[in-house]
Amino acid sequence: MLAGVSLRRFRQALHPIRPVLRIRDLCYAIDSGSRALMRGLDLELADGEYVAIMGESGVGKSTLLNLVAGLERSQGGTIELDGVEVTALDEDARTRLRRARMGFVFQAFHVLPHVSVGRNVALPLVLNGWSRAAIDVRVAEMLEAVGLGGRAHSAPRELSGGELQRVAIARALALRPGLVLADEPTGNLDPANAARVIELLRSQIRSQGAMGLLVTHSPLAAASADRVLVLRDSRLWSAAAPA
């Protein structure tokens, strides 16, 4: 893993601040096109950059994440991830891209209740065809990283909300994805747990050299990002840099 991070730093030194997520002129409307959520929206994320997006409820923050993930189709504009134009891919290709390059953290954790904590973390690795031995090593590593070492065999029902979100973070990062998409990851947590989860998410994204796109209402969560943008009037605007 350290070798991977070093390689990325080396690449960054050769090509400083190379944007690897590029969104151009993105358009998206709902209510049969009568209500535009995005109109000519642009965004660039550099390798290893962690960006928070804020905005009022219903302005399309989560939709933006879904468009980036290829879960929804835009009505105009392009999204490129590492040079691959997501918007030009068919559903299967988008699914494969998501499987190989992205990690998700949800507000409601979405930890599978019928498999163990370890199996939950292993899921992206299994989907990507990792060997059993490699999976075991990586799962142990990730659980250790999120403070749940030794809980691989626990059932999700035995965990608290904060712990479940930590499992979700471990799952999102297990594959070392290039992009982590987090949608209100602290929405269901108390302030103390929320702070711990935010710190963990930031540190894990950073330590793995991934890009992060965080959608949140929480100023505390947004403060952990490199940049904070506000989605308003169908476009992204820069917010004051966090203290």
Contact pick of 157, 192, 240, 243 for another protein (by CB under 8 A): 157
Radius of gyration of the chain (CA): 18
Cβ-based nearer residue to another protein, 84 or 126: 126
Q: Does 212 bind another protein (CB under 8 A)?
A: no
Residues 67-106, mask of contacts with another protein (x by CB under 8 A): --x-xx------------------xx--xx-xxx-x-x-x
Contact 202, 41 (CB under 8 A): no
Q: Does 60 bind another protein (CB under 8 A)?
A: no
Ranges assigned E (strand) in the chain:
19-30, 35-46, 50-54, 76-81, 84-85, 102-105, 179-183, 211-215, 227-232, 235-238
Q: Does 193 bind another protein (CB under 8 A)?
A: no
* CB crowding 117-150: b at 16 or more within 10 Å, else e: bbbbbbbbbeeeebeeeebeebbeebbebbebee
Contact pick of 62, 216, 224, 234 for another protein (by CB under 8 A): 62
Question: Which amino acid, 134?
Answer: A
Q: Does 164 bind another protein (CB under 8 A)?
A: yes
Residues that bind another protein (CB under 8 A): 62-63, 66, 69, 71-72, 91-92, 95-96, 98-100, 102, 104, 106-115, 119, 123-124, 126-128, 132, 156-157, 161, 164, 171, 183, 188
